[in-house]
Amino acid sequence: FAERDNPNALTYTLYALTLLEGDRSLTTRLAGVAIESALEVDDSFAETYLVRGLYNQQMGRSAQALDDWRYAADLKDAPQWVVEEAQSLRREYQTP
């Protein structure tokens, strides 16, 4: 994360990831808001799409999660670890 150019998108993304680990009611809704805020700051931040995929999966929106992980892996400047994690999550959750 330290190499990325936009600390605001990073802050929102990490905040969303932290909220996803908590209670599934208020914090999950706040995670969605943080994800959207991160995308408003930088809509090419691959880590945000990775986290939004986790959020969508947790919310029961598997197709949207798979789309987010595909997009995260396909972004030109996506860090290699994001590409690998997104591909792994797609394999794990993709229905045969």
Residue 18: the pLDDT is 75
Answer whether residue 87 is part of any domain. yes
Answer whether residue 1 is part of any domain. no
CATH of the domain at 86: 1.25.40.10
Answer whether residue 2 is part of any domain. no
- The C-alpha atoms of residue 22 and residue 45 are separated, in whole angstroms, by 23
Answer whether residue 85 is part of any domain. yes
Residue 6: the pLDDT is 57
List per-block mean pLDDT (blocks of 10 residues) for the chain, which spans 96 residues.
59 76 69 89 96 93 97 97 97 86
Residue 39: the pLDDT is 95
pTM confidence score? 0.76
Please count the structural domains in the chain: 1
Q: Give me the domain span that covers residue 72.
A: 7-93
Answer whether residue 11 is part of any domain. yes
